Structure formats: structure tokens, C-alpha cells
Structure 1
């Protein structure tokens, strides 16, 4: 039987689109289905609009710092509606670019929800599975459906918003409670605080950014507090209630006491995300799930021989560049005759908070668990030159985790201005297996913060 496609992709996020285009380059006939806008979470509700909002939030500090360098005071205020409109216009522009790229690659784009009838057959329908249904067949199928914010079961949850909603608020919230200390909550807390919103960040644990290096967590949290964000730890969100004065948030402490905060909006995105694997018809295939995530091997193949999966729906490392690399590795292997796999070792990442943080490789705790006492730490904390004239007590922290016996740099961590840009370069060295001696032999660029990575003793 002749099949409609060589490859059919369910989900047109960054990973799905990258895979579709790469497979098409090898001559495969490719189709892709998406019920929402092209680009997935990153382009529409994540890294792109969030980074643009981050830029917007940084201007007040720049206006203030400029006075120390001889500039006259700036009187300025944020036009929230103008900013949000500009951000969403850029998202719309990127949607159009993705459409053109897929058209140029001769990838057929279908609008709707994809659901497995069997391992080679996908039913395309609307949200209800009703009208305008179309059935397609494919030799290979890729699941790239991403994830969604977790909505906890809390009394009054209907009065809360998630990170998806922030990009469409008509007015700037003057007071906001953000529940959860993951990178999403930390980033939005920093962004809104920079724009003048009174922010309270509520943590279930004792510190933000669980899973990151301990020194990095401490430095970012203290920096956020220094910038005026109220952080409450070891708290449980008990209930949310809509009142005439705003949204009332009732918090419970470990000692059984309670605190009530009245706010304009509550973001609950930071309590986690889950793979979008419901209603895919996976029960009609041999695909297996683990805690809602698609189980795959090193080639991104599922437990059904012709079905593959990449990106957040596999819940490995939920980063856009990882999904893209996984998808391209799959296309290269299956359609390009170039067998390769995605390496999950030394993947750099960043938290676009204020202060900014970035990391690559092992944390100190991970290194000590693996190598014991054969780990040496190099750490530096200083005030960057930029802040000397403004007289601000802003600190940058840099840290190298080194294996003493081999001198190999196992991890690099930074908190401070331009951390992501700096760690991106350091990540190349760490990925290549550079030693501390290699770092020491590299001449620093003076005066920069980045030179500290090659001068630490």
C-alpha cells in the first residue's frame, strides 16, 4: 500500500519543525500537524517573548546607572500595552517565517490535532475530534508535542494565571504572587520586578532553582532579594480567592501559621510542566510512557519500531536547542544515512533572571558524588567594573569544578551580567575536555568579567 508520507510529524514546535525540514532536505516526503501557532512553546509562550520582556525590564536600571556616567536624569514610564503589542508582533513575524521555511522545504502543514489510529495511521481533527477530519498514513512518525504548565489542584485555582497568560495581559499587574522557584518563576519574578510590579515569590522548598549548583542558587536568590523581590520559603499555597480588592492568596507555613497576600495576579507556571501526551491515541500503538513522558532509546525511537519522539514530551533535558538537535540527529540517521545520536553530556543552560545565571557541566555536588575528594573548586566573587561609578553593590560569581587527578574542568557556573553569553564560550572548552591548565594558559581579555575564568587560582 502506498503511504501518504515518508515522515509525519505531530507537533510543529522547534524540534518538530527542525526535524521536518532536515528530513525533507534528504528527499523525504514530509507532513506536519499543529493545532496551535507554529514554533511551539519557545517561540509563542517561552524563550522568545520572555527574553524580549527581560530586555524591557532592564531599562530602569540603565537609566539610573547612566547618571553616574554623566548623563542627565531620565523621566520615563512603561507603556505595558505598547510593550506587549510589540512582543506579540515579533512572535507573529516569527510564525510567518516558520511557515515560509516549511513551504520552501516542501513540507505539508496540516492544521488540527493528530491522533494515532494505528502505528502508521494518524487522524487529523479539531479539538473535539469532530469536523474536518482527515486520515493520513506514514512510514515513520515523529511525536514532538512538547509540554504544558501544570495546574495544581488548589481551591480557587480558576482565579490564577500561568506563564502562558502573561504575554496577553492587557494591563501590568501592580502586585503579583508567583508560586514556585523553578527557572520560569524566577525569570518572571525578575522581569516583572524590573518593570515595577511588587513581586512575592513563594517556594515550597528552602531555596530557588533546585538542581542547579548550590553557590549559583544562593547567589541568584540573594541578588533577587537585593533587587526588591520578596521571597517566602517552605510555604504551601492553600487557597486563592477573588475579592473586591484583588486576588487573595492564602499561604500556609510549616509551623501551621497562615499569611494572606492580596495581589492582582498569580502565576503558577513554576510548579512544573508535563508532556502533552494525552489524547494522542498512543493506546492504539506499542508506544510506552513513563510518568507521562514518551520512552525512547538513544536514537529517539519509541517502543513502536516506526515511531520516534523528541523534545519536552520525552522529558529528558527540556531545552529548545536539545529538541532541535535530537530531531536533526533522528533525520540524519533515518533519512540521511549519517547515524548519530544526541549527547546529553555538558549541555549548557541559562536562567535569565536578575542577576543572570548560566551553567555547563557538573555541579559541585554532582562532581563530589562521582569523584569524592578528588574535586577542587575554584571560585571568584567580585564587583564588575561597570558598577564602580554607580557605586552599586552588584556582584558577579564564577566557579570552576575541577577533577584534581586529571585536571579536567568538570563544570563551570556563573552569576552576573552576560552570564549566558560568557558560559556559551566556556561550554565549548568544557565539551572538548579542557583542563584547568588549558584555562590558565589562555590569555584573558582585559578589562572584562570573562577573563576571571582564565585567572582563577
Structure 2
């Protein structure tokens, strides 16, 4: 396409968004190159949602094996080996990295396994010194864990390191109140760690509906997780035996085996040469883009977590697809709709949601109707597990249009994917009421709420 440049598109970052954009652009006929300084696949595949979900599956067996006894199964001699799970997860990460690499190579995308920096208009310099040019540049470098300014912070791990531990810590303090903190609190707790979750604020998962947050807190406490709110770290100091002395603002000093920070993520924009070529950054270092993912420089675009719009893998993929279709697809520009995005927290049990919370709906719409189902799943009844699920449906009070669905229940995320389609399509409570239930299932509560 671009005879005056080495490439039509040069992508910096081979994560989910960058890979999708590069593959689709190449399929449209563009000559594409991509640079990745670490491993092809990015955060999600290598050190994020994919390996984490495998740990979640592994952790669930702890409860499943206990519950199985009331279903007639003998599981008294069951044992858990962390190294086996860890190594199997890392092996599958290797497989996925190979699959992502194959996808790029099968579309004739040139892969540079090194860092890249924008050094001029349409110019990229690779770490090895090679200089190339491109008509368009896409930045898809993602984000990384934010480390708080605390004495001894270098002794703590982040979610990046959790997949490589040599053993499960007997006692761990996790800092944070978001989805990563709650997910790893559940994982380590099920693996037998004594877990304390420390949050500088007064609530968990602030973007989720209050009723779900309260239910997760109650269940997590019953499972043995300790919570400390309005609390900050004063210091972390390593002991002679390799453990850590931790002083929290609301507690006496204690000794733990591990400290983990899950306190947000910071866009990876340092050292890319963005400011030198006129790309505007936000207060958090995020790349500012328009609705078509274009930066303040016409030929430079950005997608995914580096823009800090919505830090979710499927969003990065949709942004990458829209960019490639818009620039190389030969039709009108495509913008991603960032409203009504479903999400999940793979806690124990998981939370899933789409649309507005009850509080948001009341503030925006005024008149709302709230329907809910608070029940004990059939499996929990027979297992003797006193753990209740909660579904909430938020509707416009005048039209009956569903503006939000929220649930905490086993397999909540699996149910939410289909429910999110209905909310996105603008269906009403009456549409759900007119749908016959599948019995017996948890999902039938979606069409039975009163």
C-alpha cells in the first residue's frame, strides 16, 4: 500500500489488541510489522487473565472436593501440589504464545522480538539499532502493576510474579480493593494460605453494585479471609529467615511469608518517544485518543490498556479490530461503543455485571424498578454449603427497559455473557418474563425475578 515506507503499519506491543489489529490489517492487504520486547500474547495470555483463570479453576477444586462427599464421593486422601499446577499453567502459556505467534506469521506479519521506540515522524528505532518507517504506527503496549510508594515495596510481589512462586505462602497480605486483589485473595485462601486483604479505602470493588459487594465481603469473611479497611502500609522489612515484617497503620507489626500489591495498573508509555513526536498523554501517563483510537498525531493510534479507557482484554481486541477496519478496510471509520460493557470478577464466588448499578440508575433516570432473587443454589443445598447467590435486575421505571443486571453466583460470568446481549439490545423486563425458564438452573432466576 505505502510505497514510501517500509511498512504500512508498525505495531508496538504484541498483546491482545496489538495482535488483533496487526492480523486484521494484514488480512486487508497491509504490510505489517510488530515489535514485542517480552513475549507475544501480552498481559492477558502471559501473566494475566488466562493463567489467572486456570488458578481459579484449580482453587475451586478445594471446595468441590469437600462438596463431593455429600454427593457420594470419597475424597479423604486428596492432596494438592502447587508445583504441578504452576508448571502446567506455565506450559499452557507457552502453548498460547506459540499460537499467537503462528497467527501473526500465517498472516505474513514481521515480528521483531525487541523493544521499539518512535524516533521521528513515521520512524521507529528498534533496540538493536535497526531503523524502519511506517505509514501508520499503533501503540498497544498495555499497562503494568502500579507499585505504591512504601518503605520496602521492593520486597512485595505483584500479580505478574504470582504465577512463578516456588510455594504457596502460609500467610500473605494482599494490598488492594479491586478485582485483581479479590481474585488472588480467593485463590490463595482456597490453596490454604491465611489471607489478609488490606484496602486504603472503605469498600471493595467500587464500580460494582453495593449489594453484590456486601455479599462477597460476607462470604469471603466466612471463608476465612481477613479484611482491613482504611488501612495503609507503613513499612515492609525482610527478616533473616526470608519472611517479612509488615507494619500497617491500624495494626501492630506482624510477620508474613508474602506481600502482594494489587493496587491498580499504570499505562506503559515511558521510553516510547511519544512526547517527542507530539503525542499527548494524560495525568496517569495514558495516551489520549479520539473515538477512533487516533492520538493527537494523525498517523499514530493507540488501543488497549495504554489508553486507560476500559482496561479489559475484549475491549482491546475490539479496539484493535475497529482500528484495522477503519484504516485499512476501505470503508467508513468504525468506533467502539464503550458503553454497556459486561465484566466479571473471578472471586469465590464470582461476580458479573453489565450496565448501571442501582445507585447509578437512580441518579441518572430518577424512576427505577429493582427486581432481585436471593437464593441458595441447589448444589450448595445438597453439599451443606451455606452460601447464597444474588441476582439483581435494574429497570427504567417508566419503560421497563433493563439498564443493568448484576449477579454473584457460581458461573455468574458464564450466565452474564448471554444476559449482556439482552441488555445491549434494549430488551425489557416483560421480554424476560415472556421467556420460558430452563429448570432446574441458576440462570432461570433471570426470567423469574419479581
Structure 2 length-normalised TM: 0.97
After superposition, the C-alpha distances for 1:150-198 in whole angstroms (9 at most, x for unaligned) are 1111111121111101111111111100011110000000011111111
Q: Secondary structure of 2:330's match?
A: coil
SS of the counterpart of 1:73? coil
Q: Could you list the per-position Cα deviations for residues 322-344 of structure 1 after superposition, in whole angstroms to 9, with x for gaps in the alignment?
A: 00000100111110023321011
> 1 CA distance for matches of 2:138 and 2:353?
30
Matched residues in 1 for 2:254 and 2:411: separation?
34
Question: What is the aligned counterpart of 1:161 among 157, 161, 170?
Answer: 157
Distance 1:107 1:390 in 2: 52
Partner in structure 2 of residue 49 of structure 1: 51
Q: Is 1:388 matched up with 2:381?
A: yes
**Corresponding position of 1:428:** 421
Unaligned 5+ runs, structure 1: 126-131
Give the 5 Å matches for 1:36-435: 36-125=38-127, 132-244=128-240, 246-253=243-250, 258-268=251-261, 270-291=262-283, 292-338=285-331, 339-372=333-366, 374-435=367-428
CA contact (8 A) 2:67 2:384 kept: no
C-alpha separation between the residues in 1 aligned to 2:374 and 2:354?
18
Query: 1:74 offset after TM fit, Å?
Result: 3.0
Residues 235-267 of structure 1 show CA distances to partners (whole Å, capped at 9, x for unaligned) of: 1111101113521111003xxxx3223111111
Q: 4+ residue runs of structure 1 moved beyond 3 angstroms? A: none
Question: Residue 411 of structure 1 aligns to a residue in which SS?
Answer: strand
Which residue, out of 434, 444, 451, partners 2:444?
A: 451
Report how far residue 211 of structure 1 moved.
1.4
Q: How many angstroms apart in 1 are the aligned matches of 2:254 and 2:371?
A: 42
Secondary structure at 2:96 match in 1: helix
Query: Is residue 119–residue 304 contact of structure 1 (8 Å, CA) maintained in 2?
Result: no
Q: SS of 2:253's equivalent?
A: strand
Q: Compute the displacement of 1:355 (Å).
A: 1.3
**Distance apart, 1:2 and its partner CA:** 2.1
- 1:119 CA displacement: 2.8
Post-superposition offset of 1:317: 0.6
SS in 2 for 1:423: helix
CA distance in 2, matches of 1:313, 1:212: 23
Post-superposition CA distance 1:178-225 (Å, at most 9, x none): 011110000000011111111111111122111111111111111111
2-side partners of 1:359 and 1:267: how far apart? 26
Partner Cα distance (2:373, 2:334) in 1: 38
The answer to whether the 8 Å contact 1:119/1:307 transfers is no
| CA distance, structure 2, for counterparts of residue 201 and residue 234 of structure 1 | 11
Report the CA distance between 1:83 and its aligned residue. 1.0
Q: Deviations over 1:102-130 (max 9, x none)?
A: 110000000111111113001110xxxxx
CA distance in 2, matches of 1:318, 1:337: 28
Q: Distance in 2 between matches of 1:139 and 1:66?
A: 59
Distance in 2 (alpha carbons) for counterparts of 1:224 and 1:364: 23
TM-score of the superposed pair, with normalisation by structure 1: 0.96
Is the CA contact (8 Å cut-off) linking 1:237 and 1:249 kept in structure 2? yes
Contact 1:119 1:284 in 2 (8 A): no
Name the CA distance, whole Å, in 2 between partners of 1:4 and 1:221.
Answer: 55
Mark the runs of 5 or more structure 2 residues left unpaired by the alignment.
none
